[in-house]
Structure 1
Amino acid sequence: MNNPGSSQPKVEVADFHCDVLSRLLEHPETDFLKGGPLDASGERLKSGGVVLQCFAIYLSQKWGIPKFELILGQIERFRRQVLEQGGVKHLRWKEEVEKIGHTPTPGNSTLWGLLSIEGAEGLEGNLFYAEAAFDLGVRLLGLTWNYANWAADGVLEQRNGGLTNKGRKLVEWCNQKGMLLDVSHLSEAGFWELAELAARPFIASHSNAKAVCGHVRNLTDEQIRAIISMDGRMGLTFFPPFVSEHGTAAIPDLLKHVEHVCSLGGEKQLMFGSDFDGIDAWVEGLEHPGCYPALVEQLLARYPEDRVRGWMHGNAFTFLHKNLPAAP
């Protein structure tokens, strides 16, 4: 345990899930740096010590039939507003991981962005679209959102089906190409089928432990152990219904999930995936990325600094360095 009187060390953060891009597509006039309606504005990310943010491409059901053009629209928002205007660096290759966290000027670390697709609906069952998304820098793919699509069943689909024939072909393509896979939102049957098919470890970018909070979106101990055994990663998320069954949650409630995953042997597989800008309620004290130091402070009060650094960024970096594709 750390000395309460000592100054808190700077701990950099890797966050594996936010929905900024869908917000920017809906509100293109938004200044990513200043934020406006955004939880995860550029300024808040930097003030919270975030050096790597995964930006999800999510197609809202209110937009109608999922189309690849909606994926392209969010990639364009990422390019224009996040990379060009926001000064964020695009992470695509394993060789770039070693550059994350380097500080060009004191107290001003570069923010890196990783692109993911949350649900394969918008790929329209077309592997040429998947290839195009990869060429445009997408490196992480969640097969589903909550419901069934052409590739697999989501976690809220009552029949709990697994992957379709097209979904298996998509996984085979991901195996060959180096597209990483994400099981948050995937049905339990799909999880276990993917565990058999995936050529490299996968992640759950924004899911918590069902043994601590019984929400259907959380993972069972068996699923968590499977991720641990393959050396995948599990990003704890900040949506209160996934954190606590009381409806509201504070940081100590989130720490119960940290403790539980570690009790299963997942110290080296644990990370965080906030879901900022994809949620409409917040953990008390974690309302936006600028609050990350408060989480770090409470972790450091309970755990050694090297372990906390692993959870906040180190485990994410080692996974990406090992599993991202090499630059051509």
Structure 2
Amino acid sequence: MTRIVIDGHCDVLYKLFENRALDFYGTSLSGLDVTYERMCRSNIKVQFFAIYLPERITVPHFDYYLEYISIFNRKVASDGRIRPIKNRGDLEAVMNGKQRGALLTLEGADALHGNPLYLRTLYELGVRMIGTTWNYANWAADGILEPRQAGFSRKGKTFIKECDELGILMDASHLSVAAFWDLADTARLPFVASHSNAKAICGHPRNLDDSQIREIIRRDGRIGITFVPWFVKSQGGATIDDLLKHIDYICALGGERQVAFGSDFDGIDRWIPQLEHAGQFPRLVEALAKRYSDEQVNRFLYANWHSLLQAYLPVH
């Protein structure tokens, strides 16, 4: 039986933005970790595609987001094999049909500048999840590597409420610790950490401490276990077994229904052996099946993401 997979984070659009010659529908040697062929090989039914502006863009404009969405529409969703997921109907059509689905997310809200019209425009164009910062500060909040380690600004807290009203899920990956707790205090909807692991297992700043994990569990959000090797094991040499330690740990805190995956493929330049691209999910499935029941494996691979989207995507 080929398991279904939903992957909560990749940076394909960043690579397509930086190198217009790359082809999502090309061969496995296309220069992308995630391709259509590899999605089919691993039965990835839904892939989240992040809009992330590279650090070289020092003056972020909203037009960059529109350019990313244009690239997505032309290079990923143009011929019907990949269906953009904007509502529950789209989700169920993908899960029950032959198409594969793509959900647009925003990683770093720098170019929104607190403008509600920009936010609504992204929503109308299909963005359904937003991580407010990348690693550093912007108008809304501090990221995890910003030295001052402040939380959300007044304007940023208004932004959280505007996302709630539209039904856009918030992503806490990359937020400073103070910003994480501001999000927890302000958001009405559950929120996620789309590509973060457990700090108790690997002490990288981008990982979540126990209190953060418990809060996401309490809110019935999701934690996308990520394949970034230096988020998996501090000393280097991360393996699939090391990745599973993060799942074990979060489950021990009560998070079996909150654990999901957010690979960060195409956002990394080093990989876990045997988990080097999107076509290798079966290696992870094999390791999971040795340790967990079929029901648990399916929850981690797709059902936990699916139930969140089913509950919070718009009906139409």
**TM-score, normalised relative to structure 1:** 0.93
Asked if structure 2 preserves the Cα contact closer than 8 Å seen for 1:13 and 1:49, the reply is yes
Shift of 1:89: 0.3
Instruction: Work out whether residues 180 and 202 of structure 1, in 8 Å CA contact, stay in contact via their aligned partners in 2.
Output: yes
Cα deviation, residue 41, structure 1: 1.1
CA distance in 2, matches of 1:247, 1:66: 34
Match for residue 14 of structure 1? 6
C-alpha separation in 1, matches of 2:136 and 2:17 = 22
Partner residue, 2:54: 60
SS of aligned partner of 1:181: strand
**Counterpart of 1:167?**
156
Partner of 2:40: 46
Amino acid at match of 2:132: L
Corresponding position of 2:180: 191
**Corresponding residue for residue 89 of structure 1:** 83
The amino acid across from 1:99 in the alignment is A
Distance (Å, rounded) in 1 between the aligned partners of 2:225 and 2:94: 21
Residue 139 in 1 paired to residue 128 in 2?
Answer: yes
Equivalent position amino acid for 2:39 in 1: L
Please say if residues 212 and 256 of structure 1, whose CA atoms lie closer than 8 Å, have aligned partners that are also in contact: yes
How is 1:274-313 mapped onto 2 (pairs within 5 angstroms)? 274-313=263-302
Q: Give the distance between the partners of 1:163 and 1:123, measured in 2 at CA.
A: 15
Is the Cα–Cα contact under 8 Å of residues 95 and 321 in structure 1 kept in the other structure? no
Residue 31 in structure 1 maps to residue 20 in structure 2: no
> Distance between the aligned counterparts of 2:80 and 2:311, measured in 1?
28
1:251 equivalent in structure 2: 240
Q: Distance in 2 between matches of 1:322 and 1:136?
A: 20
Distance 1:225 1:304 in 2: 23
Alignment check: 8 A CA contact 1:42 1:86 kept = no
How far residue 128 of structure 1 moved from its aligned partner, in angstroms, is: 1.1
Give the alignment partner of residue 79 of structure 1, picking from 73, 84, 96. 73
Distance 2:183 2:97 in 1: 38
Structure 1 position 86, deviation (Å): 6.8
RMSD of equivalent CA atoms: 1.1
Match of 1:228 in 2: 217
Instruction: Report if aligned partners of 1:32, 1:86 keep a CA contact under 8 Å in 2.
Output: no
1:128 paired to 2:122: no
Shift of 1:85: 4.2
* 2:197 pairs with 1:208: yes
- Separation (CA, whole Å) in 2 of partners of 1:229 and 1:89: 32
* Stretches of structure 1 lacking an aligned partner (at least 5 in a row): 1-8, 105-109
Pairwise CA distance, 1:96 = 2.7
- Aligned to 2:165, what secondary structure does the other structure show? helix
- Post-superposition shift, 1:165? 1.2
Amino acid in the other structure paired with 2:7 = D
Q: Work out the CA distance in 1 between the residues paired with 2:118 and 2:300.
A: 34
TM-score by length of 2: 0.97
Quote how far apart the aligned CAs of 1:77 are.
0.7
- 1 CA distance for matches of 2:202 and 2:222? 19
Deviation at 1:158, TM superposition (A): 1.9
Between stretches 154-163 and 50-59, larger displacement belongs to 154-163
Task: Please state whether the residue corresponding to 1:203 is helix, strand or coil.
Answer: strand
> CA shift at 1:161, angstroms?
0.5
Structure 1 residue identity aligned to 2:87? W
Q: Distance in 1 between matches of 2:32 and 2:146?
A: 30
CA deviation after TM superposition for structure 1 residue 325, in Å = 2.1
